[in-house]
Amino acid sequence: MTPRIEDRPQMSVEEFEELERRAPDTVRLEFIKGKVQVKGVPDGNHSEIYMWLLEQCMRLRPDLRLHPERGLKTESYRKGRARADAVLVPRRSLKGHGEWSEAEGVLMAVEITSYDSDTNQRDRIDKPDGYAAAGIPVYLLVDRDDCTVTVFTEPKDGRYRRQLNEPFGATLTLPDPVDISLDTEPLKEFAD
């Protein structure tokens, strides 16, 4: 069966990586489901949410590191390239990695929604599928549009089998291998 035109990638992974290397610093590119996507540059509230989560992880799991803006090989057969807002990994596990890391060893990928037209498709649909296909055990989505935090778990066959959605202000438990309980009350301050 011949693939439909919309299912064919716009370019090879190698071509994308070359394009991404040459992109200006003001642009962040991803290669998701065979298409080049431009990811919005974080605003101040986005950065504050990342810092809040970093502080929680450092306090509750000092054996782990929450790295910002990490490039990951995602999707089936690692044909995608996603730049996660953050990844949680064991200390020193990124040593020797290039710009695009294998997802093996990543305990959690984090996305914080941006206010752009692609955020629904990218952060709520494409990224969970890509992270699940790569075998990342936990995907945490901080959704500023509807003031919720969603935890996706149990990746199998390219999809997360479970998801828990809670409003900002709830206490949220991130299961093994993350094993952190978060009081999300402070996120209300950054909902604007």
pLDDT tens for each residue of 153-171: 999 998 999 999 999 999 9
Higher pLDDT, 29 or 113: 113
Q: What is the spatial distance between Cα 12 and Cα 17, in angstroms, rounded to a whole number? A: 9
pLDDT tens for each residue of 58-109: 999 999 999 998 989 887 766 888 889 999 999 999 898 888 888 999 999 9
What phi-psi label fits residue 167: left (phi over 0), alpha (psi between -120 and 50 degrees) or beta?
Answer: beta
At 108, list the tokens.
């959690």
Q: What is the spatial distance between Cα 76 and Cα 39, in angstroms, rounded to a whole number? A: 21
pLDDT of residue 106: 96
∠ Cα 29 148 179 (to 5°)? 85
pLDDT tens for each residue of 115-165: 766 666 677 778 888 999 999 999 999 999 899 999 999 999 989 999 999
Write the DSSP string, 96-125: T--SEE-STT--EEEEE--SSTTHIIIIII
Confidence of residue 114 (pLDDT cuts 50, 70, 90): confident
∠ Cα 149 166 130 (to 5°)? 45
Q: The domain 43-190: what is its CATH number? A: 3.90.1570.10
